[in-house]
Amino acid sequence: MGWSIPIFRVAGIQLRIHITFLLLIGWIAFVYYAQGGSPAAVAGVLLILLLFTCVVLHEFGHALAGKAFGINTPDITLLPIGGVARLERMPEEPVQELIIAAAGPAVTAMIALGAFVAGGSFVYPPKEGSSISDVLFTMNVVLLLFNLLPAFPMDGGRVLRALLATRMPYARATQVAANIGQGFAFLFGFMGLFGNPFLLFIALFVYIGASQEAALAQMKDVSRRFPVSSAMVRDFRSLSESATLEEAVDALLATSQHDFPVVNETGNVAGVLTRHDLIAALRKGDPSIRVGDVMRRDIPTVTTGTRFEEAFRIMQECNCPAVPVLDSMKRLVGLLTPENVTELMMIQSAMPRRRVT
Ligand SMILES: [Zn+2]
């Protein structure tokens, strides 16, 4: 996610904080300072750090549940409306998605329960004399209620989608949950106009989150139905491992391609030269460098029969800009890029009956 700053790594998960979350901390410190000076500002920031910890624990709930199904979580980003645990891939089964979605709120509910057992009660907004268990209880009850709204991008929306997906196509289930999410966004926006302006902020995030989720599901639906061969680039240029950087530059300028498959003497795919790596190599100004020295070798390949969905998962996991496509004889016949998929989706939505083979 853009505009986020890495803070620390724990258990292989990179924790990131979105710039707007930092603004929120600054804003709260300012508001508290204006009301009660430095001690109040310190209390306000401590309150936020406590909230921050509760949200991180919540996100770890999602991450651990994902891990149980073999899905890693490369990073967790903290946003003003909560955290986002970015799973390496989407779970296959609705029931897995349901468990992963429910694991976060389950952690929040446990913290709330712990605070309640310790004598906490619901005090909102927190008062001067509130105990730490009051604060923890109130905070987590609010978090829980917000998370359980049956709308994207909240966890409740995911639970709803998983439940709907057992009865209707996945894409339709997502659309329903996303529409409800956008409905809530308008409601929050409306309430924000006449009440707490912070709700406007939340409305914006909810709206964007719901739209992204719907687009992702549409992509997933298309990618599940078609093989790679239906939308791969067939007309492309490849480079030989021994080609000079000059030849690579010529190819870059002469075509609209950004990334080039590289083949060795026997004609097998050896790697991919990305525009980024080419430019970086040119900066060194060494004429003896060959394409084979600077290409990425850790690029996986797919075959023409691979489903888009599988190819996508591979692309996401390796963070590859382009994946070479081989035929059954292991010959290079195509190139798959994120743009292909976008185009396939555009065609699909313009011509719903068309079947690409
Ligand atoms: Zn969650």
For residues 313 and 78, which has the higher predicted lDDT (pLDDT)? 78
> Is residue 232 one of the residues assigned to a domain?
yes
Last residue of a domain, one of 195, 223, 251: 223
Q: What are the structure tokens assigned to 126, written together? A: 């927190």
Residue 19: pLDDT over 60: yes
pLDDT at 354: 39
Q: Is the pTM of this model over 0.85?
A: no
Is residue 113 domain-shared with residue 178, that is, in the same domain? no
Query: Which of 2-11, 43-52, 123-132 has the lowest average pLDDT?
Result: 123-132
Q: 232 and 318 in contact (C-beta within 8 Å)?
A: no
Q: What is the DSSP letter of 81?
A: T
Residue 239: pLDDT over 90: yes
Please give the distance, rounded to the nearest whole angstrom, from the Cα atom of residue 46 to the centre of ligand 1: 22
Last residue of a domain, one of 201, 223, 245: 223
What are 130-163's pLDDT values in tens digits? 788 888 899 899 889 988 888 777 899 889 988 9
Is residue 63 domain-shared with residue 140, that is, in the same domain? yes
Q: What are the structure tokens assigned to 115, written together? A: 């605070």
Q: Quick one: which of 136, 76, 85, 78 has its CA closest to 110?
A: 136
Q: What length is written for the chain? A: 357
Please give the distance, rounded to the nearest whole angstrom, from the Cα atom of residue 85 to the centre of ligand 1: 8
Dihedral (C-alpha) 302, 307, 309, 312: value to the nearest 10 degrees? 20
Is residue 212 domain-shared with residue 246, that is, in the same domain? no
Please give the distance, rounded to the nearest whole angstrom, from the Cα atom of residue 45 to the centre of ligand 1: 23
The percentage of residues in the chain with a pLDDT greater than 70, rounded to a whole number, is: 93
pLDDT at 348: 65
Q: 154 and 147 in contact (C-beta within 8 Å)?
A: yes
> Is residue 301 one of the residues assigned to a domain?
yes
Please give the distance, rounded to the nearest whole angstrom, from the Cα atom of residue 267 to the centre of ligand 1: 48
> Is residue 357 one of the residues assigned to a domain?
no
Q: 324 and 332 in contact (C-beta within 8 Å)?
A: yes
Residue 342 zone, left/alpha/beta (φ > 0; ψ -120 to 50; rest): alpha
Residue 16: pLDDT over 80: yes
> Is residue 356 one of the residues assigned to a domain?
no
Is residue 10 domain-shared with residue 83, that is, in the same domain? yes
Q: What are the structure tokens assigned to 272, written together? A: 């991919």
Is residue 104 domain-shared with residue 170, that is, in the same domain? no
Using DSSP, state whether 296 is helix, strand or coil.
strand
Is residue 59 domain-shared with residue 24, that is, in the same domain? yes
What are phi and psi for residue 41, nearest 5 degrees? -60, -40
Sign for the CA dihedral angle at 166, 171, 176, 180 comes to positive
Is residue 136 domain-shared with residue 274, that is, in the same domain? no
Please give the distance, rounded to the nearest whole angstrom, from the Cα atom of residue 183 to the centre of ligand 1: 20
Please give the distance, rounded to the nearest whole angstrom, from the Cα atom of residue 205 to the centre of ligand 1: 14
Is residue 171 domain-shared with residue 50, that is, in the same domain? no
Q: How many CA atoms lie within 13 A of 245 on its CB side?
A: 20
Is residue 159 domain-shared with residue 105, that is, in the same domain? no
What are 98-109's pLDDT values in tens digits? 999 999 999 999
Last residue of a domain, one of 223, 257, 274: 223
Render the burial of 168-186: b for 16+ CB within 10 Å, e for the rest: eebbebbbbbbebbbebbe
List strands edge to edge, sheet with 302-303: 302-303, 323-326, 332-336
Please give the distance, rounded to the nearest whole angstrom, from the Cα atom of residue 252 to the centre of ligand 1: 43
DSSP for 14-26, please give it: EEEEEHHHHHHHH
Q: Which domain holds residue 291?
A: 228-350
Please give the distance, rounded to the nearest whole angstrom, from the Cα atom of residue 105 to the centre of ligand 1: 6
Domain count of the fold of the chain: 3
DSSP for 94-159, please give it: HHHHHHHHHHHHHHHHHHHHHHHHTT----SSPPTT--HHHHHHHHHHHHHHHHTSSSTTSHHHHH
Residue 309: pLDDT over 80: no
Is residue 169 domain-shared with residue 308, that is, in the same domain? no
Residue 252: pLDDT over 60: yes
Is residue 7 domain-shared with residue 118, that is, in the same domain? yes
* Mean pLDDT of all residues in 91-104: 88
pLDDT at 357: 40
Is residue 70 domain-shared with residue 93, that is, in the same domain? yes
CATH assignment at residue 298: 3.10.580.10
What are 184-223's pLDDT values in tens digits? 888 888 888 887 777 787 788 788 878 877 777 776 666 6
Please give the distance, rounded to the nearest whole angstrom, from the Cα atom of residue 201 to the centre of ligand 1: 19
Q: 320 and 299 in contact (C-beta within 8 Å)?
A: yes
Please give the distance, rounded to the nearest whole angstrom, from the Cα atom of residue 4 to the centre of ligand 1: 18
Query: Which of 48-57, 89-98, 296-305 has the lowest average pLDDT?
Result: 89-98
Residue 230: pLDDT over 50: yes
Burial grade of 115 (CB within 10 A; 0-12, 13-18, 19 or more): buried
> Is residue 133 one of the residues assigned to a domain?
yes
